[in-house]
Amino acid sequence: MPKATVRVPAALRTFVGGASELVLEGSTVGEVIRALSAANPALHPHLFTSGGRLRRPITVYLNEHDIRSLDREATRLREGDVVSVVWAGAEADPISRSKPARRPSRSKAPAEEPFPRDELSRYSRHLLLPEVGLVGQRKLRKAKVLVAGMGGLGTPVALYLAAAGVGELGLVDFDTVDLSNLQRQVLYTTSDVGRPKVAAAKERIEALNPGTRVVAYPTRLTSENAFDILRPFDVIVDGTDNFPTRYLLNDAAVLLGKPCVYGSVYRFEGQLSVFDARRGPCYRCLFTEPPSPDLAPSCAEAGVLGVLPGLIGLMQATETVKLVLERGNPMVGRLLLFDALRLEFREVTVGKNPRCVLCSSHATQKGLIDYPSFCGVPAPGAEPFEGTVPEVEADLLAAELASAKPPFLVDVREPFEWEIAHLPRAHLIPKGQVADRVDELTHAAKLVLYCRTGIRSAESARLLLELGFRNVRTLRGGIHAWAQRVDPSIPLY
Ligand SMILES: [Zn+2]
């Protein structure tokens, strides 16, 4: 029987003992995937539905080909084949589809248009390239690019597009600069901490290139405002860090007939593609459904190598410039998978899904939907699992812990986080072990769970409530809130 190498994405490695690839025997793709699952029972529910079908956030490739374009699970294997399990990332009013799709930029370049002397000098290295030249530089100057999310991906994209001479940049982000952003979001400086990201970015970009007009949107992208924000722009760049916004951005771009330059990062891995439904697949063709929320942690929960979003972001900027110049082969219909630890780039082909609900000829979705509920997560800005898991404020918890009958305190973070700091009298049970270690909690009359900011503890508390525990609360805002309100000696990380 042939042996194949099965590559496991970072998000699922915890279920296979940390291995990034395994060699397994099987005569078909289905057999090796099922062998992988059988050898690692905890992995099974993440790969298969209860009905035994492959889950939709999972796409499987044989060498470079999507098995959906082959014989699916029945695809025959040969000795030495590579089977890649690709997991979704890392994360719209009815639009007149009848409107002719606009090109990313206008290709007409009137020769009489003046080109200021200082711009000849600023862009001289572009002007020397026959593929850019004055014609290309004018296209860049006329281009309007929207960068959605000014984090690790969006900041290098915006900086390089401004440097390259893109005439108008729209920047969307509701957040303020946090000290923990500076490890990768190199557009911001230490003195920007606490400022709105788009305000700091506008100042920095205009200092870099006064010829670039910055339109700042200090807001969350929502189903209500997405069309209005996206409509004026030629190219959309996806710098989002969560699935509801990523699906929203994809759907709005498809419905408006605009290309979306996709990038995502997760720990040491990145993905890149260009989704343009007018001539290729969209994000939903690749990932028809989002992963379950507990497998979709943000960088804040999962961590990310600081240089990684810089790498992926610069490739997004490269694709954007190519779209504007109408030069080269864009990443349409191709997905780049980057592994920083191996320093390995792999490319797989992504076909248009003939049953895509959004971009196929059988599309059923004609407008934007409720993305938080589609992705099974709380609405942006809402407290995690509001109304189901009671929370306790940090100062109140401090008082309870000092009382005669203190609650049993459980830290659901990872051991390395515990090493950084933990609350006095806490017990460490990482979130992934809570289900197996419930007997350590049954004696407690009152339970309080905490994590870094409150997301993992809410998920763990919900699990305990489902298991029949009664008096379970979480520390609102996690150890961060404790550091801010009770014990400032605890470091924020
Ligand atoms: Zn599609």
Q: Which amino acid is at 14?
A: T
CA of 276 to the centre of ligand 1 (A): 9
**150-194: pLDDT as tens digits:** 999 999 999 999 999 999 999 999 999 999 999 999 999 999 999
Quick one: tokens of 91?
């994360």
Contacts of 292 (CB under 8 A, 6+ apart): 46, 57, 376
Q: Average pLDDT of 56-62?
A: 88
Domains of the chain: 3-87 (3.10.20.30), 128-374 (3.40.50.720), 391-485 (3.40.250.10)
CA of 270 to the centre of ligand 1 (A): 21
Q: Which residues make beta-bridge pairs with 481?
A: none
d(Cα 434, Cα 455) in Å, to the nearest integer?
15
CA of 275 to the centre of ligand 1 (A): 9
pLDDT at 102: 44
CA of 250 to the centre of ligand 1 (A): 9
The answer for 139, left when phi > 0, alpha when psi is -120 to 50, beta otherwise, is alpha
Could you give the residue ranges of the DSSP H alpha helices within 186-265? Answer: 197-208, 226-230, 243-256
Quick one: tokens of 327?
């030069």
CA of 475 to the centre of ligand 1 (A): 41
Residue 94 reports pLDDT greater than 80: no
Question: Of the spans 9-13, 216-220, 360-364, which averages the highest pLDDT?
Answer: 216-220
Higher pLDDT, 384 or 255: 255
d(Cα 412, Cα 429) in Å, to the nearest integer?
5
Residues belonging to the active site: 299, 451
pLDDT at 113: 64
**479-488: pLDDT as tens digits:** 999 999 999 9
| Residue 248: band (very low, low, confident or very high) from pLDDT cuts 50, 70, 90 | very high
CA of 333 to the centre of ligand 1 (A): 11
Q: Average pLDDT of 102-121?
A: 62
Q: Average pLDDT of 231-240?
A: 97
CA of 281 to the centre of ligand 1 (A): 5
Dihedral sign of CA atoms 182, 188, 191, 196 in order: negative
**124-149: pLDDT as tens digits:** 999 999 899 999 999 999 999 999 99
Nearest CA among 293, 298, 297, 302 for reference residue 374:
293
SS3 440: helix
Residue 112 reports pLDDT greater than 60: no
d(Cα 244, Cα 219) in Å, to the nearest integer?
15
95-104's contacts with Cβ under 8 Å and 24+ in sequence apart are 95/227, 95/255, 95/256, 95/257, 95/367, 97/255, 97/257, 99/257, 101/257, 101/278, 102/234, 102/257, 102/258, 103/234, 103/326, 104/143, 104/234, 104/235, 104/259, 104/323, 104/324, 104/326
CA of 277 to the centre of ligand 1 (A): 6
Phi, psi of 344 (to 5 degrees): -130, 130
Residue 226 reports pLDDT greater than 60: yes
CA of 294 to the centre of ligand 1 (A): 25
pTM (two decimals): 0.69
CA of 355 to the centre of ligand 1 (A): 8
The strand order across the sheet containing 3-7 reads 21-25, 3-7, 82-87, 58-62, 65-66
**312-339: pLDDT as tens digits:** 999 999 999 999 999 999 999 999 999 9
Nearest CA among 336, 261, 361 for reference residue 64:
336
Ligand 1 (single-atom ion) residues, CB below 5 Å:
282, 284-285, 356, 358-359
CA of 314 to the centre of ligand 1 (A): 25
**337-358: pLDDT as tens digits:** 999 999 999 999 999 999 999 9
CA of 138 to the centre of ligand 1 (A): 32
The mean pLDDT of the chain is: 88
pLDDT at 179: 94
Nearest CA among 301, 320, 318 for reference residue 377:
301
Residue 225 CB neighbours (<10 A): 14
Residue 384 reports pLDDT greater than 60: no
Quick one: tokens of 368?
């934007």
pLDDT at 303: 84
Nearest CA among 386, 346, 405 for reference residue 474:
386
d(Cα 80, Cα 75) in Å, to the nearest integer?
14
| Residue 35: band (very low, low, confident or very high) from pLDDT cuts 50, 70, 90 | very high
